[in-house]
């Protein structure tokens, strides 16, 4: 008889976390969803609350947690500039203290643990596309650094715990992801362009629109996380997770206009500080 896995998802009420919780419940895991609701929403996981193998706990990962689990997906951290720049000190504490606390939990329970890192660790890259071996071109003191450097520090902690304590770790560097449950006003480009188009407002492009991004649908990203967690123990990463195809910002704006049928104009503004 197969033993049901007990899986912890931190940041489980967020955009990606809620879809990951769904995926794990559907495959038969016992899922403990952890969130402090700074950016996560109870609405994202309300439909799971009646599931017998789903449990919701309000908790902040900057404080230790004492539970028994087999696997940990550490997704807890504000992920959009609007949210993580609102309280930059708390953002970096979430990444660093959160990683330390979840790694401590994994060490005690011998759980396998996956860190949701980010393509932002590459900074303003001088190499395109970025292989995992690329160390990046970073600004450690800019207004976005609370997020970027916090994630870089978390990666360091994961690999140090792996080397020193033999923990089974996985690190996923997540690129831009889109899909249902994105917050319409979180400042990310896909949701911003769609909202502006639907409201008939000008679509705002920062810079000349030639900068490129890749966009991965939420189901594909979640599948990548699950497959990475299920991979052999010697597959630690870091692994880039995203869509290999790229759009320029101008192409994305034109695509949104075509799909929505909007007559919104496209306007250009100066690039924000540290926007790669």
**Which of 73, 147, 178, 217 is the catalytic position?**
147
Beta bridge partners of 216: 177
Contact between 214 and 245 under an 8 Å Cβ cutoff? The reply is: yes
Contact between 116 and 174 under an 8 Å Cβ cutoff? The reply is: yes
Contact between 101 and 157 under an 8 Å Cβ cutoff? The reply is: no
Active site residue 134: no
Q: How many CB atoms lie within 10 A of CB 49?
A: 11
Contact between 237 and 228 under an 8 Å Cβ cutoff? The reply is: yes
Per-residue tokens: 234: 């010697």
Query: How many degrees, rounded to 5, is the angle at CA 175 between CA 208 and CA 269?
Result: 20
Instruction: Please state whether 248 falls in left (phi above 0), alpha (psi between -120 and 50) or beta.
Output: beta
Report, as residue numbers or ranges, the catalytic residues.
147
């Amino acid at each position: 008889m197969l033993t049901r896995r007990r899986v912890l998802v931190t940041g489980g009420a967020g955009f990606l976390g809620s879809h990951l919780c769904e995926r794990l419940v559907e495959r038969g895991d016992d899922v403990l969803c952890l969130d402090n609701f700074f950016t996560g929403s109870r609405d994202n996981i309300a439909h799971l609350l009646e599931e017998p193998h789903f449990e919701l706990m309000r908790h902040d990962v900057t404080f230790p947690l004492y539970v028994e689990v087999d696997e940990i997906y550490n997704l807890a951290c504000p992920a959009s500039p609007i949210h993580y720049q609102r309280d930059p000190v708390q953002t970096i504490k979430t990444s660093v203290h959160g990683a330390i606390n979840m790694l401590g939990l994994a060490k005690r329970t011998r759980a396998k643990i996956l860190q949701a890192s980010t393509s932002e660790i590459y900074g303003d890259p001088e190499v395109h596309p970025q292989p995992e071996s690329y160390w990046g071109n970073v600004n450690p003191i800019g207004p976005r650094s609370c997020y970027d450097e916090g994630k870089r520090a978390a990666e360091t902690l994961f690999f140090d715990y792996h080397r020193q304590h033999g923990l089974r770790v996985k690190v996923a560097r997540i690129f831009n992801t889109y899909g249902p449950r994105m917050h319409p006003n979180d400042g990310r480009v896909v949701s911003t362009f769609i909202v502006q188009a639907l409201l008939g407002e000008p679509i705002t492009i920062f810079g000349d629109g030639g900068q490129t991004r890749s966009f991965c649908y939420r189901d594909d990203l979640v599948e990548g996380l699950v497959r990475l967690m299920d991979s052999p123990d010697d597959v630690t990463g870091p692994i880039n997770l995203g869509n290999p195809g790229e759009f320029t910002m101008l192409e994305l704006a034109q695509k949104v206009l075509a799909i929505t049928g909007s007559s919104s104009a496209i306007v250009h503004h100066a690039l924000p500080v540290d926007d790669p």
